[in-house]
Amino acid sequence: MNTSKMLPDTLFNLTSNIVDAIEKNLLTTIHFSNQQIYLQLEETLGYSFTHMRDTFKLTTNISLVKYITRRKYTTILQQMSSADFDKLTVHTKINGISKFKGKCLHEFPLIRDNFCLENMQQPIDKSILKTMIDNQLALKSIESVMKTLYKDIIDGRNQFEIIPNNKDIIVQTSKDTIIDLEKTYFTFEDKIFKITAELNIPQHDIEDPLLSILFAKPTYQCYNVKANANCVIHILHEFLMGNIIPPNGFSINIEWSCKNGWGTRNLISSISFDETKLKSVELNDIPFLHFNNDNVILNLSFFENL
């Protein structure tokens, strides 16, 4: 059964039943091996242990195997005093568990200085289980989005690693493409990036009433068309050098993904037209590309400050 397709109430009910079954049988199964406990859970609840294990991990973010082990240790420890525990040697075998003291200290290191139930594994609190499930499902949803974004950035592209404190990385010259941005994604530390572009095509037969009022002249709607990033960057470079006047606007974006999030940023902060011709282009304060007379260069400061 696929746990990703289970409803939250179903996940809650099964997790609750697992917790209850473990607690109900804990004292009578204290001498059982974990494998015997797994078989008993299967007989009691009628699910395979694999399905229960996957469900429990999804809803609590705790391994069911570890939870059972820790609850078993806690039940044994509750029958001891702190003084009894201190007297145990590292080789003492308790309830069939060899080196019991060392294993308990590994699972519950805080009991070395404070031997109390709060520092052991208490039963899952079912009163907050629904909240735990909602949080876990939200996290899984974010992880799914992250995987999709990651795949979208790297698909069909070759990796180019940006090394901190590296020299200028030339993307293209005035005549040649050095790094094909349509076939390349960049890595810097724990982030991955790709550069994309769009053309902004005006629809001269559809006036935008709000923008027309704002600019006090007829202003027309535009639609965006995906474009080759190498070509659009070359057009911008030629415009900035005063060699051409493009008829259309454009946007050049960098998209990134990392373990802690994702984002996108436009190279251009503003663009203006004089009638139907491009008049000016302003770049963002820390652009990811630099333009000089000869070359288009990756701005390493952008990556270092992101």
Q: What is the DSSP string of 251-262?
A: EEEEEEEETTEE
* Buried/exposed 253-274: b ≥16 CB within 10 Å, e otherwise: bbbbbbeeebeeebbbeebeee
* 225-260: pLDDT as tens digits: 899 999 999 999 999 999 998 888 889 999 998 866
Question: Please, which pLDDT band fits residue 262 given cuts at 50, 70 and 90?
Answer: confident
Has residue 263 got a pLDDT over 90? no
Q: Is residue 67 within 8 Å of 121, Cβ to Cβ?
A: yes
Question: Please, which pLDDT band fits residue 275 given cuts at 50, 70 and 90?
Answer: low
Q: How far is CA 193 from the centre of its chain?
A: 15
Has residue 219 got a pLDDT over 60? yes
* 14-30: pLDDT as tens digits: 999 999 999 998 888 88
Question: Please, which pLDDT band fits residue 58 given cuts at 50, 70 and 90?
Answer: confident
pLDDT at 2: 59
Question: Please, which pLDDT band fits residue 139 given cuts at 50, 70 and 90?
Answer: confident
Question: Please, which pLDDT band fits residue 205 given cuts at 50, 70 and 90?
Answer: low
Percent of all residues in the chain with a pLDDT value above 90, rounded to a whole number: 50
User: What does the pLDDT average to over 257-284?
Assistant: 82
pLDDT at 212: 67
pLDDT at 138: 78
* 60-70: pLDDT as tens digits: 989 999 999 99
Has residue 142 got a pLDDT over 70? no
pLDDT at 233: 95
pLDDT at 5: 67
All structural domains of the chain with their residue ranges: 3-140, 158-305
Phi-psi domain of 216 (left: phi exceeds 0; alpha: psi -120 through 50; beta: other): left
Q: Indicate yes or no: pTM above 0.95.
A: no
Q: What is the CA radius of gyration of the chain?
A: 31
Percent of all residues in the chain with a pLDDT value above 70, rounded to a whole number: 91
Neighbours of 276 (CB within 10 A): 10
Burial of 105 (C-beta count, 10 Å sphere; 0-12/13-18/19+): middle
pLDDT at 260: 66
* 81-100: pLDDT as tens digits: 999 999 999 889 998 899 99
Has residue 1 got a pLDDT over 60? no
pLDDT at 117: 93
pLDDT at 22: 93
Q: Is residue 107 within 8 Å of 70, Cβ to Cβ?
A: yes
Question: Please, which pLDDT band fits residue 203 given cuts at 50, 70 and 90?
Answer: low
Neighbours of 125 (CB within 10 A): 10
- Of 148, 142, 132, the residue nearest 58 (C-alpha): 132
Please list, in sequence order, all residues whose beta carbon lies within 8 angstroms of the beta carbon of residue 207, skipping any fewer than 6 positions away.
218, 219, 220, 221
3-state secondary structure of 81: coil
CA pair distance 20, 33, nearest whole angstrom: 19
Has residue 276 got a pLDDT over 70? no
N residues, the chain: 306
